[in-house]
């Protein structure tokens, strides 16, 4: 306290505090402010975020096992990515026994695409005339009970023209195309893989509607292969750039735009990865054999993954929203 302040206290009949006492009060005040700031930063629920990458590609696969559609942005819903009337794996090819058919059995399926223009869907394939379909299958078409990885799920039959088109393109046994409708009951992800939560669900996806893969992981794999492969060999929904190889393996929770995703488990890889997405030819060898040489699970996880190699990560939705190419990917932590 200065001399003027001491004289003022004296005029009021109050003793001036000693210098050590004044300093002690000031120190205590500063400590209280500092402790308050620390407590505010550490309060429960406050999250920190760190940018770990950038969204480089977004993919929607309207028909399970068929060609993907690269999109600049997508709505992220509980059942997967949505772009207008196109939804990820909301259409399914089935056989006469109403079991799913994938590129594991029919590799040329990867050459079939389903796109949307206005109020019309277009079914396309190389050297084949396009087929136009309504966005919604007519309500008079039968609802079929299909089986996807052993679990039953409904689908509205897309009609005779679609069935003939699919069968003719694949030049195989009679097949049909069905469509999942929003009012139908999804499959439980937890019944497919125990690692998922009780509220996680899928339409026709294998286990999760969100598969994340980094560009760096693909570069690492291609550095070991004689013939390079593409991201489309692995059918990811979100491809991330700007991170190290397999960084996605440790992203427990990420924020992209206003979308929050929680990592559940790695994606175990099968013979489908050996189908060339440009030719529809299955070689049954690469890149699966190379992945087996260095991407096996920890021995403690053999019950979950078996002998299949791991590449990419399955995520579950925590907060819906919109995601765009170019969005920053943030890792969330306490």
Q: What is the pLDDT of residues 301-325, one digit of tens each?
A: 999 999 999 999 999 999 999 999 9
* 170: pLDDT strictly greater than 60: yes
Arithmetic mean of pLDDT over the chain: 90
Residue 1: pLDDT band with limits 50, 70, 90: low
**Residue 47's pLDDT is what?**
83
Which 8-state DSSP code applies to residue 95? -
Q: What is the pLDDT of residues 273-286, one digit of tens each?
A: 999 999 999 999 99
> Are residues 131 and 122 in contact, defined by beta-carbon separation less than 8 angstroms?
yes
Edge-first strand listing for the sheet containing 143-148 = 91-94, 176-179, 151-157, 143-148
CA distance 2 to 146: 87
pLDDT above 90: percentage of residues in the chain: 85
* 256: pLDDT strictly greater than 90: yes
Q: What is the pLDDT of residues 4-14, one digit of tens each?
A: 444 444 443 44
Q: What is the pLDDT of residues 8-56, one digit of tens each?
A: 444 434 444 444 443 443 444 444 444 444 443 444 457 899 999 999 9
Q: What is the mean pLDDT of residues 199-211?
A: 97
Residue 118: pLDDT band with limits 50, 70, 90: confident
* 182: pLDDT strictly greater than 70: yes
Q: What is the mean pLDDT of residues 73-79?
A: 98
Q: What is the pLDDT of residues 96-112, one digit of tens each?
A: 999 999 999 999 999 99
* 3: pLDDT strictly greater than 50: no
> Are residues 172 and 83 in contact, defined by beta-carbon separation less than 8 angstroms?
no
Q: What is the mean pLDDT of residues 143-162?
A: 98
Which 8-state DSSP code applies to residue 66? S
All residues at 6 or more sequence positions from 277 whose CB lies less than 8 Å from its CB, including other chains: 67, 110, 230, 232, 233
Domain ranges within the chain, ordered by starting residue: 48-333
Which of these, 79, 82, 114, lies nearest to 71 by C-alpha position? Answer: 82
**Residue 184's pLDDT is what?**
98
> What fold does the segment set 48-333 form as a domain?
M1 Pyruvate Kinase; Domain 3 (2.40.33)
**Residue 334's pLDDT is what?**
77
């Amino acid at each position: 306290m200065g001399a003027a302040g001491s004289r003022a206290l004296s005029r009021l009949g109050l003793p001036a505090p000693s210098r050590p006492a004044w300093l002690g009060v000031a120190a205590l005040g500063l400590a209280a402010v500092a402790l308050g700031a620390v407590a505010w930063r550490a309060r429960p629920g406050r999250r920190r975020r760190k940018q770990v990458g950038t969204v480089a590609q977004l993919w929607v696969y309207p028909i399970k096992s068929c060609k993907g559609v690269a999109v600049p942005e997508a709505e992220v819903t509980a059942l997967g990515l949505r772009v207008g009337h196109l939804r990820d794996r909301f259409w399914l090819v089935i056989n006469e026994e109403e079991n799913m058919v994938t590129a594991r059995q029919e590799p040329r399926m990867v050459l079939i695409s389903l796109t949307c223009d206005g109020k019309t869907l277009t079914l396309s394939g190389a050297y084949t005339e396009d087929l136009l379909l309504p966005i919604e299958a007519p309500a008079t078409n039968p609802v079929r009970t299909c089986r996807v990885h052993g679990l039953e799920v409904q689908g509205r039959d897309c009609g005779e023209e679609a069935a003939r088109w699919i069968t003719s393109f694949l030049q195989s046994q009679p097949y049909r195309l069905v469509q999942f409708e929003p009012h139908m009951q999804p499959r439980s992800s937890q019944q497919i893989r125990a690692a998922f939560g009780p509220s996680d669900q899928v339409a026709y996806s294998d286990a999760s509607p969100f598969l994340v893969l980094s560009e760096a992981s693909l570069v690492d794999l291609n550095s070991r292969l004689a013939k390079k492969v593409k991201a489309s060999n692995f059918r990811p929904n979100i491809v991330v750039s700007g991170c190290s190889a397999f960084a996605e393996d440790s992203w427990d929770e990420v924020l992209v735009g206003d979308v929050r995703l929680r990592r559940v488990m790695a994606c175990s890889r099968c013979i489908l990865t050996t189908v060339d997405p440009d030719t529809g030819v299955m070689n049954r060898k690469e890149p699966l054999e190379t992945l087996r040489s260095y991407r096996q699970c920890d021995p403690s996880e053999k019950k979950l993954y078996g002998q299949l190699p791991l590449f990419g990560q399955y995520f579950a939705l925590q907060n819906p929203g919109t995601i765009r190419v170019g969005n920053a990917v943030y890792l969330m932590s306490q």
